[in-house]
Amino acid sequence: MTVSIENMTSQNSEQNWDIFCAVVDNYGDIGVTWRLAKQLSAEQKINVTLWVDDLNSFQHILPHLDPNQVTQSHCGIKINQWSEPLKIDYKVGDVLIEAFACELPAQVKQQLVTAKQAYFDNSKNKKPPVWLNLEYLSAESWVEGCHGLPSMQASGIKKYFYFPGFSDKTGGLICEKTLFTDREHWQLDTQNRQNLFKSLGLTGIDETDTVISVFSYESSALLALCQHWQANDTKTHALIPKGRSLNSLQSILPCSIDELTPGMQIAFGNLVIHILPMTDQEGYDKLLWSCDFNIVRGEDSFLRAQWAAKPFIWHIYEQEEDYHLIKLDAFMQLYCNNLPSELAMSWKGLNLAFNQEQAALTCEYWQQLNLADLPLQQHAKQWPIDAINDVDLVSRLVQFVKNS
Ligand SMILES: Cc1cn([C@H]2C[C@H](O)[C@@H](COP(=O)(O)OP(=O)(O)O[C@H]3O[C@@H](C)[C@H](O)[C@@H](O)[C@H]3O)O2)c(=O)[nH]c1=O
């Protein structure tokens, strides 16, 4: 029997999925789950409820969100405040996703036990949901062996470990179906970049200037790079939202970080720092598409910099015992697989030096890395096509659930 895509998505529209997200810090946990929720809803027509414990953080990347509402809808997704105890009842759906091993509320776990028992008593009752733990993205090879493994929980229900990743044996990477074509169209017309900068209140940027977006954690290497750009021949614009990157630049700023407001420009020699307003994720993607180089961090902006098809530095989220450097290395090996060795050395050197706060080395590698270098640019364009490995995370996830 053949089932058409339309039939499959209309079957999905009867499905209810819940995603629970606890914000550990910053915007990555909510950033990833929000992307996931939007794509499940828009492309798979699944009814998604996203439960979030910190709506104030969420509002930074979804400006229309009202942090005081216990429940609200945006982009077709129901967003519920996750408080303990829950103010809104959780009703068992078809799929339950806990993001990044967050501890589900006791009420939810109790509902799972009840659902399991009811199904055990009479298989005509609704099946308990497929329960998944969505893990962090890593390019390490062990991920392939752990993706999809079940673990029996006290409720008698299996919980599956769902690992995003770069190979076909992993859960894939979040990427909307039309993202690459949307980006290509955007990048074909330089007017888009100019219009975007204008809408963000960024002025004085000529077409020939180098534009770099900066969304990193604190790093003395960033200060060194800014000082390097300041003395450089090319005019450089660093677009930086209020946040952690600026903490490293306090010594060169004319006022305290609190006093900075979006749209402000601070000029030093050939560098202009622009204070960037934070936008929603769609706006942020377009910013990455429009810059010549992006400095990104965490998980979601890291992936979006890859989808932007531009060269980038990944400031990885620090972990205990420098474990993050192992993750960084695994990704760099993969990314540099087909790069000419000299270019690979400069790109890896730059990323490692930035992450290890080796200020002088960062500038040295920056100088070696010519942004106009054709192989570097071509690689940045080809990489998304190779990395997506035919199928994105949401498509793989829906199939995984069907097979579970
Ligand atoms: C600058 C900017 C970012 N964003 C979004 C893009 C991303 O979804 C989100 C930032 O998330 P990330 O890039 O993942 O970085 P991050 O550092 O914010 O998030 C994290 O990293 C994880 C690895 C950790 O585990 C998390 O606990 C968390 O710290 O903010 C906007 O929507 N608009 C903006 O203007």
Long-range contacts of 304-308 (CB under 8 A, 24+ apart): 306/383, 306/384, 306/387, 307/175, 307/179, 307/180, 307/183, 307/384, 308/183
Residue 246 and residue 369 in one domain? yes
Nearest ligand 1 atom, CA 301: 13
Residue 137 and residue 184 in one domain? no
Residue 188 and residue 291 in one domain? yes
Residue 368 and residue 285 in one domain? yes
Residue 210 inside a domain? The answer is: yes
* Closest protein CA for atom 23 of ligand 1: 298
Residue 50 and residue 126 in one domain? yes
- Given the structure tokens 């540099």, which residue do they identify? 336
Q: What are the b/e assignments for 296-334, b being 16+ CB within 10 Å?
A: bbbbbbbbbbbbbbbbbbbbbbeeeeeeeeebbebbbeb
Residue 398 and residue 325 in one domain? no
Q: With bands split at pLDDT 50, 70 and 90, how would you rate the model's confidence at 178? A: very high
Which range, 12-16, 337-341, 358-362, has the best average confidence (pLDDT)? 358-362
What's the gap in Å between 257 CA and the centre of ligand 1? 20
Q: Is 300 in the pocket of ligand 1 (CB under 6 A)?
A: yes
pLDDT tens digits, 205-254: 999 999 999 999 999 999 999 999 999 999 999 999 999 999 999 999 99
What's the gap in Å between 287 CA and the centre of ligand 1? 14
pLDDT at 364 over 90: yes
Residue 46 inside a domain? The answer is: yes
What is the side-by-side order of every strand in the sheet holding 271-276? 265-268, 271-276, 236-241, 210-214, 293-297, 312-315
pLDDT at 1 over 50: no
Residue 82 and residue 189 in one domain? no
Among residues 29, 53, 135, 285, which one is catalytic?
29
What's the gap in Å between 43 CA and the centre of ligand 1? 23
Catalytic (active site) residue 299: yes
Residue 5 inside a domain? The answer is: no
Mutation probe of ligand 1 site: the residue of 23, 27, 239 with most atoms within 8 A of C-beta: 27
Q: What is the per-residue pLDDT for 3?
A: 42
Residue 365 inside a domain? The answer is: yes
Residue 247 inside a domain? The answer is: yes
Residue 345 and residue 397 in one domain? no
Q: For the domain that residue 124 is a member of, what is the CATH number?
A: 3.40.50
Q: Is 312 in the pocket of ligand 1 (CB under 6 A)?
A: no
Q: Is 299 in the pocket of ligand 1 (CB under 6 A)?
A: yes
Residue 219 inside a domain? The answer is: yes
Q: Is 297 in the pocket of ligand 1 (CB under 6 A)?
A: yes
Mutation probe of ligand 1 site: the residue of 176, 276, 287, 299 with most atoms within 8 A of C-beta: 299
Residue 234 and residue 98 in one domain? no
Q: Give dist(CA 339, CA 246) in Å, integer.
A: 32
> In angstroms, what CA-CA distances link 105 with 15, 53, 264, 307?
22, 11, 43, 35
pLDDT tens digits, 54-88: 999 999 999 999 999 999 999 999 999 999 999 99
For residues 201 and 275, the answer to whether their CB atoms sit within 8 Å is: no
Provide the domain limits for residue 260. 179-388
Q: How many domains does the chain have?
A: 2
Residue 142 and residue 233 in one domain? no
Q: What is the per-residue pLDDT for 396?
A: 98
Q: Give dist(CA 397, CA 165) in Å, integer.
A: 12
Catalytic (active site) residue 29: yes
Residue 24 and residue 76 in one domain? yes
Mutation probe of ligand 1 site: the residue of 216, 218, 300 with most atoms within 8 A of C-beta: 300
Residue 368 and residue 394 in one domain? no
